[in-house]
Amino acid sequence: MKRSLFMTLMVVALGLALALPLYAAAPKAPADGLAMKAPAGAKQPVVKFNHSKHASAKCVDCHHKKVGNTEFVKCDSKGCHADYAAKTGKDSFYAAFHGPAAKSCLGCHKAVKDKSPNAPSACPKCHVKG
């Protein structure tokens, strides 16, 4: 009797352990006003990002790389957009946000500006002072 109860509990525990990654695979978008990671000595005011204003985009439109299947990686992770000095190219931190690619902030905003006039291209609209 005791043994079969133990087995049942084991099966339940194993089931839960296997199911967990399925939930972890869908992280929730953080609250608005998320301070983005900026390089040390940044000259522009840090950009605060609002996920709620970007619900029309798919998570993968921006989060195009993940660790395993669970966690989104930071934009400036090693092997990603980690080059703070370069202004252009795949590794460039600057180009990830201002370059012409559809995944870049400015790249998308410029592409959608006719139908989405609230997608800003002016510096102080993203780099908000204060």
Residues found near ligand HEC in the complex (CB under 6 A): 27-30, 34, 36-39, 42-44, 46-47, 49-51, 53-54, 56-57, 59, 61-63, 72, 74-75, 94, 97-98, 103, 105-106, 108-109, 112, 116, 118-121, 123, 125-127
Closer to ligand HEC at the Cβ: 13 or 67?
Answer: 67
Facing residues of 83 across strands?
A: 92
Query: In this structure, are residues 46 and 35 in contact, taking their beta carbons and an 8 Å threshold?
Result: yes
- Fill in the amino acid letter for 44: Q
- Find the shortest distance in angstroms from Cβ 66 to ligand HEC: 10
Question: Nearest Cα to 97, choosing from 44, 25, 53?
Answer: 44
Closer to ligand HEC at the Cβ: 19 or 123?
Answer: 123
CA 37 to CA 19: how far, in whole Å?
32
Helix (H, G, I), strand (E, B) or coil at 126: helix
- Find the shortest distance in angstroms from Cβ 67 to ligand HEC: 12
Closer to ligand HEC at the Cβ: 13 or 25?
Answer: 25
Closer to ligand HEC at the Cβ: 14 or 42?
Answer: 42
Give the torsion sign (CA, 96, 102, 65, 69).
positive
